[in-house]
Amino acid sequence: MEEKEQIIRTEYSEVMQKSYIDYAMSVIIARALPDVRDGLKPVQRRTLFDMHELGIRHDRPYRKCARIVGDTMGKYHPHGDSSIYEALVVMAQEFKKGLPLVDGHGNFGSIEGDGAAAMRYTEARLQKITQEAYLADLDKDVVDFVPNFDETEKEPSVLPVKVPNLLINGAEGIAVGMATSIPPHNFSEVIDGVKAYMKNPDITTEEMMEYVKGPDFPTGGIVVNQADLLHIYETGTGKIKIRGKVEIEQVKGGKQRLVITEIPYTMVGANIGKFLMDVYHLAETRKTNDIVDISNQSSKEGIRIVLDLKKGADVENLCNMLYKKTRLEDTFGVNMLAVAGGRPETMGIVPIIRHHVNFQYEIATRKYNTLLAKELDKKEVQEGLIKACDVIDLIIEILRGSKNIRDAKDCLMNGNTKNIQFRYKGSEADARHLRFTERQAAAILEMRLYKLIGLEIEALMKEHEITLSNIAKYEEILGSRTAMAKVIIKELNRFQKEYGTDRKTKIENAAEVVYEEKKVEEMPVVLLMDRFGYVKTIDLSAYERNKEAADTENKYVIFCMNTDKFCIFTDKGQLHTVKVLDIPHGKFRDKGTPLDNVSNYNSNEEEMLYVNSLGNILGKKLLFANSSGMLKQVRGEEFDVSKRTVAATKLNTGETLLLVQPLTEGEEESVVMQTEKNMFLRFFASDVPEKKKGAIGVRGMKIDEKDKLQAVYLLGQEERTVLAKEKEIALHRLRMANRDGKGVKK
């Protein structure tokens, strides 16, 4: 019988809401946020565990990253291989992690943003600290193992990490509706903080900061807002200001150079290249004249960005300028968000350490319970063997007189002599008193004869003493939180001694940067743009010397002030502005720069209709005409805007601008409109009303449905002719009519 189809009727919004919440929680818990206990995201945890399972330890040969990534993806992390490889690469990068967990071999990228080589080329293995502090004791039932995605393997729900990795390595992750951003900290300081908390669980954030001074970025730098750190570590959110480290070197000839030896952590990657471009731009736009040359001399030894200065340069002001205008001073947004108890939580530094310490007690309890159980098992067996050695003759007689193992075992455990053949009369009575446990009986039956040698018996006795000692030790640790704390602290001290490093980031309360921008000396310049769209500005005197060549070689020659703006009106109805100071200033024969590079204008998508400086437009009116025949006048002041690109007029879908032209004050000008079927209409420009730039305008001409507007002209006193169907039409001789007429056919 066929099963009936079940249709569940439900509100669509409810399904969407539930599905989205499920998706969001999946991203938050299973992808983007680290667990507060081990400080690892699932992809990092699974990659490290897989390397542990593959036996890729620090003292063994490197293995191909492709093998690691493939194995991790196939067994534990059923997502893209790129995300697994990226996580592996980051765990090996010294400039991103305070404590790299993976030892990479090959090209794992650079601090300047170069990507790692493909995973088929690179190799990796675990770092020694990762084995000792992150993956040790997994065989001692210290953490829960859960089924993997297809329930064919088991994976740890959390790694038994013995150091507060969340603080040491920090974390970055974007989930759904939330993000985490935790800075890295100094290994030794964080260990000191953990020990201080274990000695005083009521420690305050202020007291904790006597041990954990602040973030310690692998790139060094200087944290300049020390006063804000207490609030940040109390609440788990805030902003850390970081500056690069700048040194001044003396050069021959009394000149100096600025050398940047440490950069803000936020500059790692492509932002180093952007910083160099920003400095170049400052010099190019004459914001500073002190920089003669800039070079990036960074190498494996470290960062070294050199700025050569001219003689007598104001070094302090230049440094302040770099802090203000570039990313040499930057902000690191802190949001200490992690998964605690299965839910995301923003925590200060003390709660993070509290979670870590509680986790340490939990894994230590489970570890020593497991060890104690093993020692108790050993003790039981050892006691059985010792006891057996005392009555070995009787046991041998039982074994020789038994028909099978079951009868022998029954006799050893329960004193059952029913099926045993004894050689001596008294032996059977002695055998009835035997009461070995099942485990002891099994060990006796498996015991080899060489164990009866005197030295072997002595070794067994010593081993038994060690077992009793271990049991006492483990029971003491499990019975007292103080004793367990001593064990945890002892291990932390060992890690601190072996892996601790000096602080790289300096922390201070620096004064706010004060940079006085030098006022640009206002001067007249000539802006030149050739037919290829290359622009430059030159001095007025340079133009006068090359006037004839400048006028013939350039499409536009505009006289303006260097503090002015250059305006470009396009057929798409856009106005693009660019500061004249942003246009390269140089010699007449300099090539200039493409207009696309200094403005939002795109020569492939837009066509220039009118260009001029803002200063030359102010006080004038501009005539606008679009492809639908709508006209208007707009005052130049409307285009004095702060944005680089604005809509110069309102256009409907499919419309384009045909004309943008300034009107000459005091001159009687006329507008001529021409259609594709050679209908011409001429009327006074004064008939076109003045409107705002956001208005559509008024109709200039009634155009037949089968016709289309072809061109619009603004005429002054000059004579002008156009070609229409191979016939010359003198526009200035057309009869004057009223606006919004049909025009005449020519």
Q: What is the rounded CA–CA span in Å between residue 660 and residue 644?
A: 19
Residue type, 439: R
Distances in Å between the Cα of 384 and the Cα atoms of 154, 228, 387, 394, 451 are: 36, 66, 5, 14, 13
DSSP 293-356: EEEE--BTTB--EEEEE-TT--HHHHHHHHHHHSTTEEEEEEE-EEEETTEEEE--HHHHHHHH
Bridge-based pairing state of the strands 222-223 and 506-507: parallel
Does residue 691 contact residue 634 with C-beta atoms inside 8 Å? Answer: yes
74 Cβ partners below 8 Å, 6+ apart? none
Helix, strand, coil shares of the chain, percent, nearest 5, are 40, 25, 35
- Report yes or no: 399 and 436 within 8 Å, Cβ to Cβ: no
Residue 408 and residue 434 in contact, taking contact as beta carbons nearer than 8 Å: no
Write down the catalytic residue from 121, 211, 515, 601: 121
Structure token digits, residue 87: 């996580």
Task: Give the contacts of 566 (CB within 8 A, at least 6 positions apart).
Answer: 527, 535, 558, 560, 577, 578, 579, 580, 583, 599, 611, 613, 614
The token pair that represents 436 in the structure block: 């070995």
Q: What is the C-alpha to C-alpha distance for residues 590 and 226, in angstroms, rounded to an integer?
A: 49
Number of H helices, E strands in the chain: 22, 35
**12 noted as active-site residue:** no
Beta-carbon contacts of residue 353 (< 8 Å; ≥ 6 apart): 164, 167, 193, 194, 197, 208
Q: Produce one character per residue of 442-477: b if its CB has 16 or more CB atoms within 10 Å, e if not.
A: bbbeebeeeeeeeeeeeeeeeebeebeebbebbeeb
Q: Which residues contact 729 (CB under 8 A, 6 or more apart)?
A: 680, 721, 722, 723, 746
Q: For residue 79, give Cα distances in angstroms to 12, 84, 339, 340.
A: 29, 8, 21, 24
- Distance between CA atoms of 264 and 79, rounded to whole angstroms? 33
Strand, coil or helix: what is 683?
strand
List the structure tokens of 371.
């060890």
Quick check: helix, strand or coil at residue 669?
Answer: coil
Tokens of 216: 């310690």
CB 258 within 8 A of CB 315: yes
The greatest distance separating any two alpha carbons of the chain, rounded to the nearest whole angstrom, comes to 150
- Catalytic residue positions? 121
